[in-house]
Chain A
Amino acid sequence: MTIIHHTDAPAEATGEAPTTLTLAGALGRAIGDALAEDPSVVVFGEDVGPLGGVFRVTDGLNARFGDERVWDSPLAEAGIVGTAIGMAMNGMRPVVELQFDAFSYPAFEQITSHLAKMRNRTRGAVQLPIVIRIPYAGGIGGVEHHSDSSEAYWTHTPGLTVVTPSNPIDAYWMLRQAIASDDPVIFLEPKSRYWTKDAVPLDHAPAPLDRARVIRTGTDVTLMAYGPTVKTALDAAALAELEDLSIEVIDLRTLSPFDDATVNASVRKTSRAAIIHEAAQFGGYGAEVAARVTERNFFHLAAPLLRIAGFDVPYPSPKLEEFYLPTAERVLNALDTWEW
């Protein structure tokens, strides 16, 4: 069993030594590089200016680029997204932050009714190259409204691209690619992983924005994860190895579009698949993945696709979240329910 390094291409191909960054630091670095390269990039949102965002992702950018490139907006999520839409209609590439997952809901209408539809509505005449950064998911002891996983709302909306990095390298490169994209991108940042560190090669992109990645090879089970649950999936695979069960782990990276090719190839090899996410199970993203993967690979599957997800309850209070969040043990117990 091999653990594949995060980068697809070897670092020595690039000449420059990779910089060690946290996931949050890599995001800030990506925004800073985009601001430096493209004068049409602007950054605004609540507290993103001098404070650098509540997670310090935009730390130092206001000082470096000034109030006309990076500034604090009034406290209003529909306002942030709605004005970003107008700015993008007038030639800018806004990168905006909605402070916490559940606080993106006041902007729901602007995102689903306008951001996602403007290109379609105008027969391609108006495009909205906007990135909406949303720190999401739990595991940091946040109180109510600070730990939701909202991906199903966004992936259900045609017109949006929805991605989530799980490590600093992807954080840097996926954000660079999201800012460069002419489509609106919902960029979900797993806040429990903000402090993960890794060496980030800053001079070549490891994988395009629409590609999932096999991050650990295995032969018995394909385990799909994204954002905060990638670590859980890798932990489960390590535990399973002790029991001689070989788990292949796929970091989906891009939730919409879904990378069918990478997933199908793995599932056809292993013939068993499971998906793990933090959001409630019912009507969740895992339901789409289960249906989709089953439709395309039914005759290659030895068992029904499993979902290891949050319970169908509101995200719990900090002292109870350990009972809610899917764990490596829960993954293994779920796999045990298959008739092997």
Chain B
Amino acid sequence: MSDHDVARPGAEPIRLIDERGDAAPLQRAPGFAMPDAGILLDLYRRMVLARRFDVQVSALTRQGRLATYPSALGQEACEIAAAAALADGDWLFPTYRDSIALLARGVRPVEILSFFRGDWHSGFDPASYCIAPQTTPLATQALHAVGFAMAAKLRGETTATLTFLGDGATSEGDAHEAFNFAGVWQTPTVFVVQNNGYAISVPFARQSRARTLADKAIGYGMPGHFVDGNDVAAMYAVIADALERARAGGGPTMIEGLTYRMEAHTNSDDPSRYRADEEVERWRAADPIARLEAYLVTDGILTPELQGEIGHEAERLAASTRDAMNEAPHLDPLELFDHVYATPRAALAEQRGFLADELAASHAPQASTAGASTADEGRTA
């Protein structure tokens, strides 16, 4: 196969398990095999936990405990398949929508929610989870994923990177530049486009004239796969294969998962203004968790006991997520100045002193400036 002889995505999405929970006909997933029972069970467990987390966080947001939360309810198959397919040393470059992928990679709820609660932009240390901070400007993180992968490639390491993009984000210039750089540099990067039907209110038909977003891959000289994004088995098989190819020096892959956002864009959105209830109901029938559950129950892999255990684990996660919101946030106003530059700046020290004086003069509880003089400007991170 020549460098440029890459497979064109099919018009029908790749599928391993259909909407009723039956194994899909073989020709729906040419070259991709059903993951083994252990993996499917693990994917199921992680999806159940992710949904419980999502529901809990949305509830907390409605109670006003979080500033905002972009739900991924309905998109669990894309998010969890990706998180599960990544090796420990691979890096994930997520967006605001992808909190449940972070959860599935082990980031603690309190660390995820600090972003949406508004205490700090990124509540976790990227290096300890191999996850970049969640980005808000669309498609920008895709370039970071390509650069990160390029550095790994230059050093001869086998690290791969995976980045999520929305369907809307693929219209951005940065998405094009990322696909193109990855193609030219042959970086070990997997682009997972979650086509959830809408960019806030704008439907896919007004976003792109492409037959599928996976088709775009051909123009960048990389393989593209159009996948049923509510079929976690298919998403896992395709993503795992692409990551393996990336680590083996085979270059980038673009994967479109066709899915649906069941909730609003964020809590401040009103989806009834742009989509019909019937459409939402149609997608409810394609639910990624129910589908896998039916498959696993039929095959006797998922027993009632196991289901009960997973249910309990989900409730414990919900409780700990609620508790996390009761933990006092880490808020030190003087920290505003601590992480702007590696090289200390006199002007910032001056402004820090100004705020410290203001806090000391006020009677607010945060006026305590203990440790105020130990800003870590200049520490090597």
B372 CB to nearest chain A CB (Å): 17
Would A86 and B342 be within 8 Å (CB), given that A78-B173, A79-B181 are in contact? no
**CB neighbours of B345 from chain A (8 A):** 210, 257
A59 CB to nearest chain B CB (Å): 22
* Contact of B184 with A161 in the complex, beta carbons under 8 Å: no
The CA-CA distance from A85 to B144 in the complex, in Å, is: 6
Query: Which of B91, B161, B181, B339 sits near A119, CB closer than 8 Å?
Result: B339
B287 CB to nearest chain A CB (Å): 35
The digit string for A252-275, where 1 denotes a CB below 8 A from any CB of B, is: 000001101000000000000000
**CB neighbours of B122 from chain A (8 A):** 121-123
* Contact of A85 with B143 in the complex, beta carbons under 8 Å: yes
Of B93, B120, B140, B161, which is in contact with the most chain A CB atoms at under 10 Å from its CB? B140
The CA-CA distance from A83 to B143 in the complex, in Å, is: 5
- From B39-47, B61-69, B125-133, B244-252, give the one contacting chain A: B125-133
The chain B residue with its CB closest to the CB of A83 is B147
Question: Taking the complex as formed, is B174 at the interface, i.e. its CB lies under 8 A from any CB of chain A?
Answer: yes
Query: Which of B150, B343, B376 sits near A83, CB closer than 8 Å?
Result: B150
- From A88-96, A307-315, A318-326, give the one contacting chain B: A88-96
* Contact of A82 with B143 in the complex, beta carbons under 8 Å: yes
The chain B residue with its CB closest to the CB of A125 is B125
A208 CB to nearest chain B CB (Å): 10
Question: Taking the complex as formed, is A38 at the interface, i.e. its CB lies under 8 A from any CB of chain B?
Answer: no
Would A121 and B150 be within 8 Å (CB), given that A74-B177, A79-B143, A106-B173 are in contact? no
* Contact of A182 with B144 in the complex, beta carbons under 8 Å: no
The CA-CA distance from A121 to B120 in the complex, in Å, is: 7
The digit string for B335-373, where 1 denotes a CB below 8 A from any CB of A, is: 100111111011100000000000000000000000000
* Contact of B126 with A182 in the complex, beta carbons under 8 Å: no
The chain A residue with its CB closest to the CB of B377 is A124
Would A86 and B339 be within 8 Å (CB), given that A74-B180, A78-B174, A121-B133 are in contact? no
Chain B 120-154 interface residues, beta-carbon cutoff 8 Å to A: 120-122, 125-127, 132-133, 135, 137, 140, 142-152, 154
* Contact of B147 with A125 in the complex, beta carbons under 8 Å: no
The CA-CA distance from A76 to B154 in the complex, in Å, is: 21
Question: Taking the complex as formed, is A53 at the interface, i.e. its CB lies under 8 A from any CB of chain B?
Answer: no
Chain B 242-295 interface residues, beta-carbon cutoff 8 Å to A: none
* Contact of B147 with A86 in the complex, beta carbons under 8 Å: yes
**CB neighbours of A88 from chain B (8 A):** 147
A220 CB to nearest chain B CB (Å): 28
* Contact of A73 with B347 in the complex, beta carbons under 8 Å: no
The CA-CA distance from A42 to B147 in the complex, in Å, is: 12
* Contact of A181 with B140 in the complex, beta carbons under 8 Å: no
**CB neighbours of A106 from chain B (8 A):** 173
The CA-CA distance from A182 to B341 in the complex, in Å, is: 8
Chain A 61-82 interface residues, beta-carbon cutoff 8 Å to B: 68, 73-74, 76, 78-79, 81-82
**CB neighbours of B73 from chain A (8 A):** none
* Contact of B143 with A182 in the complex, beta carbons under 8 Å: no
The chain A residue with its CB closest to the CB of B147 is A86
Question: Taking the complex as formed, is A337 at the interface, i.e. its CB lies under 8 A from any CB of chain B?
Answer: no
Would A85 and B343 be within 8 Å (CB), given that A121-B122, A126-B126 are in contact? no
The CA-CA distance from A124 to B120 in the complex, in Å, is: 12
Query: Which of B155, B161, B347 sits near A257, CB closer than 8 Å?
Result: B347
**CB neighbours of A87 from chain B (8 A):** 147-148, 150-151
The CA-CA distance from A182 to B380 in the complex, in Å, is: 8
* Contact of A78 with B143 in the complex, beta carbons under 8 Å: yes
Question: Taking the complex as formed, is A231 at the interface, i.e. its CB lies under 8 A from any CB of chain B?
Answer: no
* Contact of A76 with B177 in the complex, beta carbons under 8 Å: yes
The CA-CA distance from A74 to B187 in the complex, in Å, is: 14
Of B145, B147, B149, B173, which is in contact with the most chain A CB atoms at under 10 Å from its CB? B147
The CA-CA distance from A146 to B127 in the complex, in Å, is: 40
The CA-CA distance from A87 to B178 in the complex, in Å, is: 13
Chain A 25-64 interface residues, beta-carbon cutoff 8 Å to B: 42
The CA-CA distance from A84 to B148 in the complex, in Å, is: 8
**CB neighbours of A258 from chain B (8 A):** 347
Would A92 and B151 be within 8 Å (CB), given that A122-B126, A257-B346 are in contact? yes
Query: Which of A73, A89, A117 sits near B144, CB closer than 8 Å?
Result: A89
- From A107-115, A131-139, A198-206, give the one contacting chain B: A107-115
The CA-CA distance from A92 to B155 in the complex, in Å, is: 10
The chain A residue with its CB closest to the CB of B138 is A109
* Contact of A68 with B126 in the complex, beta carbons under 8 Å: no
Query: Which of B135, B155, B180, B346 sits near A76, CB closer than 8 Å?
Result: B180
Question: Taking the complex as formed, is B312 at the interface, i.e. its CB lies under 8 A from any CB of chain A?
Answer: no
Query: Which of A84, A120, A123, A125 sits near B127, CB closer than 8 Å?
Result: A125
A249 CB to nearest chain B CB (Å): 23
Question: Taking the complex as formed, is B4 at the interface, i.e. its CB lies under 8 A from any CB of chain A?
Answer: no
Of B135, B152, B343, B347, which is in contact with the most chain A CB atoms at under 10 Å from its CB? B343
The CA-CA distance from A79 to B142 in the complex, in Å, is: 10
Would A181 and B342 be within 8 Å (CB), given that A89-B132, A124-B379 are in contact? yes
The CA-CA distance from A113 to B133 in the complex, in Å, is: 13
* Contact of B126 with A82 in the complex, beta carbons under 8 Å: no
**CB neighbours of B178 from chain A (8 A):** 79, 82
List 8 A–B pairs whose Cβ atoms lie within 8 Å, in order of A's numbering: A68-B154, A74-B177, A76-B177, A79-B143, A90-B152, A114-B137, A119-B341, A183-B343
For the complex with contacts A90-B159, A114-B140, 20 further pairs of A-B residues with Cβ separation under 8 Å are: A74-B177, A76-B177, A76-B180, A78-B143, A81-B143, A83-B143, A86-B148, A86-B150, A87-B147, A109-B137, A110-B143, A113-B140, A114-B135, A119-B340, A119-B342, A120-B339, A159-B340, A181-B343, A210-B345, A257-B345
Please list the residues of chain B having a beta carbon within 8 angstroms of any beta carbon in chain A. 91, 93, 120-122, 125-127, 132-133, 135, 137, 140, 142-152, 154-155, 159, 161, 173-174, 177-178, 180-181, 184, 335, 338-343, 345-347, 376, 379-381
